[in-house]
Amino acid sequence: MQLFKSQVVRVTNSLSGKKEVFNPIKAGYIGMYVCGPTVYSNVHLGNCRTFMSFDMIYRYFKHLGFKVRYVRNITDAGHLENDADEGEDKIAKKAKLEQIEPMEVVQRYTVDFHNTLQQFNFLPPSIEPTATGHIIEQIEIIKDILAKGFAYEVNGSVYFDVVKFNETNEYGKLSGRKLEDMIANTRALAAQDEKKNPQDFALWKKAEPQHIMRWPSPWGDGFPGWHLECTAMSTKYLGETFDIHGGGMDLKFPHHECEIAQAEASNQKSPVNYWLHANMLTLNGKKMSKSTGNNLYPSEIFSGDNNLLSKPYSPAVVRFFMLQAHYTSILDLSDDALLASEKGYSRLMEALGNLESLVATKKGEFDIEAWRNNCYKAMNDDFNTPILISHLFEAVKHINLIKENKERISESDKELLQKTIHEFIFDVLGIENQSAMEGDSNTLSGVVELLIELRNSARINKDFATSDKIRDELIALGIQLKDGKEGTTFSIN
RNA sequence: GGCAUCGUGGCCGAGUGGCUAGGCACAGCUCUGCAAAAGCUUGUACAGCGGUUCGAAUCCGCUCGAUGCCUCCA
């Protein structure tokens, strides 16, 4: 199945600021790089949103039949804390704080990262390279940039010469900045700085004697700079120019801008055709952030152990909630919004169950082909999952009508509907049916069936006190009975 | 201060020059022993002020407000 031959996908390219038709370099193949996490603390929900956006994009491309190589790195060498603290990196700082090895910190939070993403039903990337595993590649790139005259060495550190680069290239084209403006707005400080200009950034930093994470290099012992690892790993696994580079909006400047500069300095060509940026998840109207403490961990949502939400929410509900907003829009998390999503999610899953038992008769009024095309149209338009979901609810409405014999469906239409709805919900959106996973297989459903029988006989005998007691006690336990034309069913919340 | 984005009905959230996504909540109706579930119906919202246009929430300008980046951050 090579759906991509008939489906034209348009994406918002940050480089042009416009929606563009997506054309891969090699037909049928896609190279996609996404900036992964820095593993010095637990991933928070905001991080998850970005990775979820690209998980969805990865899933859709795969669904269309593309062969996708999806590379998402693990930053375990640590970015610099700031210019003032003598280049101590984050991993090392945390390690000292907790009196353990840096790689132990990395291991702990890498495991947490993977566990969390698994709960959200993320597909693993094709390659998940680490920064520490690519020190040699990074050193090679630095040598190359030095040789080409776009970097300079000072006291065992190497800096990228932004001003020099800007003479022949355009520094700031991704984020819409002009170097002259940036220089004009620079605060006059950092007197002891080794850099020629404040805009210059480190490719290699000399390690102070107490610095734990260090590697030998032509410039002495040290560690790689902020932005180099992504250039090294994306080039190694995807080539000098590849299709898609993704990441959070907050990485646009300076991180991605620097990646472009590094790659152009060493290869003389633009590294990426389509830059995609996922927008922020906010909490109380403010960006979630590790440094400010305005954040929520996934585990706190799943357990309900937090001060912000009235109840726990499952990973599938949170995923559904996030996909109800477009990935380029800011999304604000609140209890009301999650509550609404949870109900919508349940209704969707309920309909999915009803679909299986639908009796096919003859051609009905629901045009499945047209509906299916609309689903693709929504996804082709810059992965518009909110619109896709609105179409899914359109189908829900028809499923329920058919169930109540108010509409008909033919056998072939039913099969197409089932196939399509499963593909979009499970394969593309990656939403799991949690109630189906928990219920059914155990003894609970048998017990509920028994109670339904008892209640029905009570109702026949007009013993409503008993029948209502059964119904009300069950609802108190989170089991809802649903009286329909074909008998009584139930759902477990 | 510089650069950018956003401001949609009770809440969340799409859309984008005319045909008013969707979810949740609310109300009425159908169904029901009563409910719930499900279905149907109703809500004419696009920060404010000007302008362009036959026509703007959608384009342009200004004002106000919010957010993001400019320092590690998804």
How far does the CA of A217 sit from the C1' of B18, in Å? 66
Nearest residue to B13 via alpha carbon and C1':
A325
Looking up residue A270, the CATH number of its domain turns out to be 3.40.50.620
Q: Is A454 helix (H, G, I), strand (E, B) or coil?
A: helix
Residues 6+ positions from A284 with CB-CB distance below 8 Å: A294
Grade residue A96 by pLDDT with cuts at 50, 70 and 90.
low
Looking up residue A378, the CATH number of its domain turns out to be 1.10.730
Q: Does residue A274 sit in the same domain as residue A287?
A: no
How far does the CA of A382 sit from the C1' of B58, in Å? 19
Evaluate if residue A455 carries a pLDDT over 80: yes
How far does the CA of A23 sit from the C1' of B49, in Å? 44
**What is the residue range of A121's domain?**
3-278
Q: Does residue A81 sit in the same domain as residue A189?
A: yes
Nearest residue to B15 via alpha carbon and C1':
A387
Average pLDDT over every residue of A412-428: 96
User: What nucleotides of chain B have any atom within 7 angstroms of a protein Cβ?
Assistant: 1-6, 11-16, 21-25, 32-40, 66-74
Average pLDDT over every residue of A45-70: 97
Average pLDDT over every residue of A241-256: 94
- Rounded Cα gap, residues A25 and A469, in angstroms: 65
Report the residue count for chain A. 493
pLDDT of residue A83: 39
Average pLDDT over every residue of A450-471: 90
Last residue of a domain, one of A278, A299, A326: A278
Q: Does residue A415 sit in the same domain as residue A471?
A: no
pLDDT of residue A85: 45
Q: Does residue A331 sit in the same domain as residue A240?
A: no
Cis peptide before A218 (omega within 30 of 0): no
How far does the CA of A384 sit from the C1' of B48, in Å? 31
Mean pLDDT over all residues of chain A?
89
Kindly report, residue by residue over A129-178, the tens digit of the pLDDT. Answer: 999 999 999 999 999 999 999 999 999 999 999 999 999 999 999 988 88
Q: Does residue A265 sit in the same domain as residue A332?
A: no
How far does the CA of A34 sit from the C1' of B25, in Å? 38
**Which nucleotide is at minimal CA–C1' distance from A406?**
B39
> What's the one-letter identity of residue A211?
H
How far does the CA of A177 sit from the C1' of B4, in Å? 10
**Which nucleotide is at minimal CA–C1' distance from A281?**
B74
DSSP characters for A66-98?
-EEEEEE-BB-S--BS-TTTTT-BHHHHHHHHH
pLDDT of residue A437: 56
**Which nucleotide is at minimal CA–C1' distance from A41?**
B73
- Rounded Cα gap, residues A266 and A283, in angstroms: 40
ipTM of the complex, rounded to two decimals: 0.94
Q: Does residue A429 sit in the same domain as residue A345?
A: yes
Do the beta carbons of residue A422 and residue A392 sit within 8 Å? no
Kindly report, residue by residue over A186-216, the tens digit of the pLDDT. Answer: 655 544 578 888 889 999 999 887 777 889 9
Grade residue A84 by pLDDT with cuts at 50, 70 and 90.
very low
Evaluate if residue A51 carries a pLDDT over 60: yes
- Rounded Cα gap, residues A358 and A341, in angstroms: 25
Average pLDDT over every residue of A444-449: 84
Higher pLDDT, A87 or A47: A47
> What's the one-letter identity of residue A428?
V
Start-to-end C-alpha separation, chain A: 37
- Give which of A135, A131, A48, A142 is closest to A91, Cα–Cα: A131
**Which nucleotide is at minimal CA–C1' distance from A45?**
B74
Q: Does residue A185 sit in the same domain as residue A306?
A: no
Evaluate if residue A109 carries a pLDDT over 90: yes
Last residue of a domain, one of A416, A436, A456: A436
Number of domain units in chain A? 3
pLDDT of residue A192: 53
Nearest residue to B32 via alpha carbon and C1':
A483
